[in-house]
Amino acid sequence: MDIKNYRQKTLAKDVSYTGIGLHSGKPATVVLKPLPPDSGIIFVRADLPERTAIPARAAFVGATVRATTLCHEGREVFTVEHLLSALYITGVDNCQVELDGPEPPVADGSAMPFIELIKEAGILEQDKERAVLHIDREFAIHDGDRYIVAVPYAGQRFSFLSLNDHPLLGSQYLDIEAGRDDFAKEIAPARTIAFMHEVEGLKKMGLGLGGSADNVIVYDEERVLTPLRFDNELVRHKLLDLLGDLFLAGRFCGHIIAVKSGHALNTALAKKIAEYAKKGESGSC
């Protein structure tokens, strides 16, 4: 997906999807609606009388435990990364995401159902140029042996190294250009991964209550219990999460290099990039 020299885009019509929330375990419906140019991505809690709008921007990131949460005026939405990734991949800049609860449906644990939903709605080009930040210096977030870096690059490139102790996972590396024609099909179908030894702990924390074999790849100590779509589905899903998290900083040209990164590091980098862009210290590409 080439983001340079393009006009902004929104949906051609309203479209909806109903399923179950990954962490809440409750029925969830999302309605995607067109918005005017320069609106950005806006989440709206339709189940609340105030219908508080929560902008999908890095400044509004709250918790990052097992999902990315956005907060504004005491209201929150969580597990937004897969839907944001779908909007990023399809090139949608302006969209209202209306929820009937705090969490979108998990669908099959990937971004592909949301991409299909967006295609069903149709994508409308708008009469306004898209702003794209040019990364012209290094940004880095470190946490022990985990880190994520953004460096200058003429296009959009993502390099991710995932390291896991499980015997079937180990080291997985993916390096991919966002401008490739097959970018969506290489990333969007990759699903959330969980481990049997984590399940009880997550449920005690009130997380993963909607997880099932229909929407999560499950590993026990020695085996994978869910048929894989890719041999390296873990790192592909890590990159899927990264795309959604970084979209909170807007669209930009640069090379993202991540090692063992997750939502906390991803969104911390998004905040750094967004703050830099706000100061107007970088040109557009």
Q: Which of 82, 237, 255, 263 is catalytic?
A: 263
Strands 69-72 and 75-78 come out as antiparallel
In contact, 30 and 104? CB cutoff 8 Å: yes
Count H helices, E strands: the chain?
A: 6, 17
Q: How far apart (Å, rounded) are the C-alpha atoms in residues 285 and 279? A: 17
- DSSP at 130: P
CB atoms near residue 245 (< 10 Å):
29
Residues of the chain by 3-state class (helix, strand, coil), percent to 5: 25, 35, 40
Strands 146-151 and 139-143 come out as antiparallel
The residue count for the chain: 285
- The yes-or-no answer on residue 82 being catalytic is no
DSSP, residue by residue, 18-73: EEE-TTT-SEEEEEEEE--TT--EEEEETTSTT--EEE-SGGGB---SSS-EEEET
Active site residues: 263
